[in-house]
Amino acid sequence: MKRTKSINLERMRKVSKYSPVKPLTLVVAASSLVACGDSREAAIYSNVEHCSQDNPSLTQECKAAYQDALAKSSKSGPKYTSKSSCVEEFGENNCTVYHASNGNNWFMPAMAGFMFSQVIGRNHYDSAPLYTSYSRRSPVYGQWSTVDGDLYGKRKYGNVRVGNNAFKSKPAVVKTMSRGGFGSTVSAKSSWGGSSSKSGWGG
Amino acid sequence: MLRCRTSERLHWRKRADEFGFKFHTLYDEPYWDESVYYQFTLQQIEKHIESPTEELHQMCLAVVDKVVRDEQLMRKFCIPEHHWDWIARSWKSGEKSLYSRLDLAYGGQGPAKLYENNADTPTSLYETGFWQWLWLEDKVNSGDLMRNADQFNSLQEKLVNRFLDMRHGHEGQVLHLACCKDTEEDRGTVQYLEDCANEAGIPTKFVYVEDIGQGEGDVYTDLDDQVITWMFKLYPWEFMLREEYSPMLEKAEVSWVEPPWKAILSNKALMPLLWKMFPNHPNLLASYFEEDLPGSNLKNYVKKPIFAREGANVSIHIDGVETEASPGPYGDEGFIFQEYYPLPSFGDAYTLIGSWLVDDKAAGISVREDKCKITQDLSRYVPHIIAG
């Protein structure tokens, strides 16, 4: 047979399902608490002490997990150019200054807690930062949110069951200085011979 | 190789809606035309298309290997000088490519002739890999075509496998995919690749080329300010290498699909160089740079811009006189001259074969028909089968 043996038609079915363009910075998505399959136990703590009290034999692990969560937060957490837009999303007294490498300052929510979870079958612990909001207008109000805006339910400490990808590395988020530096040739060439064409720049 | 008339599937437009094929009709003219199909024999496919495709591809790669080591040739290919090292490195370190399409003139007999290599941003991928595949399924299931009818088209399978392959080394990374705004066809092609990548378990995210941002620390960002680390772009390197954000390309450390060395492979300057390195190869047409034309004895030729899309700015010259020409905005970078070898005609249609490659393997064909000798973006796409 010289053709593809089988195709997953479910995946190919569309009915106009292009992924929507997301709005700015924090994009809130449906809860990522999962019931079965690709999931594991995690505990949510507010800080190192909280974690150590619960796990007296794991003080070092708690420290490391907390530091790791902080690092992930500054790498991948939501960032805002103005304090007011951060406050609008996360509430008063909940935004901190983030010093970017080139000396610019921007604002991001303080890490309100972190997830702590043993890697199944290994003597190693994963962590991930969590945010919450004190602003009633925010969808994150009273909830836990991950760096990429997944909501993990009501803000309370203790045990949760989460998907494994909660601990996967997340894309870094940085301040965008400008947009539109690609695509200029296409508009120049399009202006030749009428404005609209079905065809793009494929050959 | 036969051109056969057939009835259209009753509800194919509904089927197209269901599967998101949005550009089957353009300017009230059919682009997808299933009132005809082409029938090939297995021998034609394997002997005349499949194996020459892989051989031609290897010859083209040999050209790339020569060009990246030769400054004079890099200049000939109009590669901006400040990108030479970067492009050479992308080749020498073996950065993986995804796909390409060789355009062949073939009418059922004799050696197929290579027109050009669309190695960077080939389209009509969805129509080939999925839609004509589905057409055959439907036609066989309805009894319109015999159950043993086959198709030279393992494109989707090979794309998914190639993505699986690429996933190693990009574990946990998001693949961004980009095309330009306001082009239904390109958006559809990118959506298709996104589906194939997802099928291989790769998380994906779409961003328009025009929306890509420059983040602090010399990185590219999407609209959520997330750093782009791995990107498929349906946007030609020859444009990108010259645009405002191009100086950042080296520092940004993005893993690009297609990789930067495709700037050489997709370049029309490839054709004269192929002819120089593999003279009189049965699947090649004599091709020359402008300065070599006078000594070449080439009287009937096609003049093509070094950079161009969809048959724009192509002209046909017979005994040195221009007889046909297509308009367009290209040509500033110079032209190449290729032996005139008209497309085979079936009835009033001129037929062009697109032969696809994924991971250096021939992966199937697309057949396009045009009323003109120069295939442009309004040609019709028709399906094919293998029988006998």
Q: What is the pTM of this model?
A: 0.82
- Please report residues of B whose CB lies closer than 8 A to that of A168: 172
Dig out the tokens for B133 from the structure.
């595949």
Q: Which of the residue ranges A20-29, A103-112, A132-141 has the most confident prediction, judged by mean pLDDT?
A: A132-141
Nearest to B9 by CA among B383, B387, B386, B388: B383
Measured CA to CA in angstroms, residue B18 lies from A12, B22, B141 at distances of 9, 10, 18
The larger pLDDT score, comparing residue B314 to residue B205, is at: B205
Cβ contact (<8 Å) for A17 and B20? yes
pLDDT above 50 (res A143):
yes
Side-chain-side CA neighbours of B296 within 13 Å: the count stands at 23
Chain B residues with CB inside 8 Å of A11's CB? 195, 198-199
A163 vs chain B: nearest CA distance in angstroms? 14
Would you call the peptide bond into B258 cis, given omega within 30 degrees of 0 as the criterion? yes
Q: Residue A137 — very low, low, confident or very high, per pLDDT cuts 50/70/90?
A: confident
Instruction: Kindly list the distances between the CA atom of residue A142 and the CA atoms of A41, A116, A135, A157, A161, in Å, as whole numbers in the listed order.
Output: 22, 20, 9, 12, 19
**A positions 77-106 inside 8 Å of B (CB):** 79, 100-102, 104
Average pLDDT of the residues of chain A: 80
* CA A182/CA B234 separation, integer angstroms: 12
Order of strands across the sheet that contains B315-318:
B287-289, B335-339, B301-305, B315-318, B321-325
Whether residue B251 is predicted with pLDDT greater than 90 in this model: the reply is yes
Most A-contacting residue of B190, B209, B258 (CB-CB within 10 A), to test interface: B209
**Closest CA relative to residue B57, chosen from B121, B117, B124:** B117
Q: Is the Cβ–Cβ distance between B387 and B43 less than 8 Å?
A: no
Contact B241, A177 (CB under 8 A): no
| pLDDT, mean of residues B216-220 | 90
Angle between helices B270-277 and B51-67 (to 10 degrees): 100
Contact assignment for B235 to A201 by CB distance below 8 Å: yes
Residue B387 identity: A
Q: How would residue B375 be classed by pLDDT, with cut points 50, 70 and 90?
A: low
C-beta of residue B243 within 8 angstroms of C-beta of residue A182: yes
Residues 6+ positions from B269 with CB-CB distance below 8 Å: B76, B77, B78, B289, B306, B336
Partners of B36 in beta bridges:
B5
Cβ of A197 under 8 Å from any chain B Cβ? Answer: yes
Contact B243 A182 (CB under 8 A): yes
The whole-angstrom separation of Cα B382 and Cα A56 is 70
Q: What is the mean pLDDT of residues B324-338?
A: 83
B67 has pLDDT over 90: yes
Candidates B177, B226, B233: best to mutate against A (most CBs of A within 10 A) is B226
Q: What is the dihedral of CA B232, B238, B239, B240, to 10 degrees?
A: 50
* pLDDT for position A81: 77
Residue A114 confidence class, pLDDT cut points 50, 70, 90:
very high
Residue A112 corresponds to which amino acid? Answer: A
For residue B179, give both structure tokens: 């095309």
What is the ipTM, given to two decimal places?
Answer: 0.89
Strand, helix or coil for residue B234 = coil
Whole-number pLDDT of residue A190 = 54
Nearest to B364, CA basis, from B342, B344, B386: B386
Residues in chain A: 203
A202 vs B123, B226, B227: nearest CB: B123
Distance of CA A109 to the CA centre of its chain: 13
**Three-state DSSP state, B250:** helix
Strand, helix or coil at A69?
helix
Residue A202 pLDDT > 80:
no
| CA of residue B315 relative to chain centroid, distance | 21
The whole-angstrom separation of Cα B344 and Cα B341 is: 9
CA B62, B66, B72, B75 torsion-angle sign: positive
Q: Quote the distance between the C-alpha of residue B85 and its chain's center.
A: 25
B356 by DSSP, 3-state: which? strand
Model confidence band, residue A39 (pLDDT cutoffs 50, 70, 90)? confident
* Sole residue written with tokens 């610019």: A104
CA distance B319 to chain A (A): 29
Residue A75 exposed, middle or buried by CB count within 10 Å (0-12, 13-18, 19+): middle
Task: Sort A103 into a burial class: Cβ within 10 Å, 0-12 / 13-18 / 19+.
Answer: exposed
Please list the alpha-helical segments (H only) found in B142-280. 155-167, 184-199, 237-240, 249-252, 262-265, 270-277
pLDDT value, residue A15? 62
Residue B41 has, within 13 A of its CA and on its CB side, a CA count of: 9
* Interchain proximity B185–A200, CB inside 8 Å: yes
Residue B196 burial (10 A CB sphere; 0-12, 13-18, 19+) = buried
Contact B175, B196 (CB under 8 A): no
Written as six digits, the tokens of B224 are: 């959520």
Distance CA B299, CA B317 (A): 8
pLDDT tens column, A80-98: 878 888 898 899 999 998 8
A32 vs B343: CA distance, rounded Å: 56
Residues of A within 8 A of B151 (CB-CB) are: 2-3
Residue A196 has what pLDDT? 37
Q: What is the mean pLDDT of residues A124-128?
A: 92
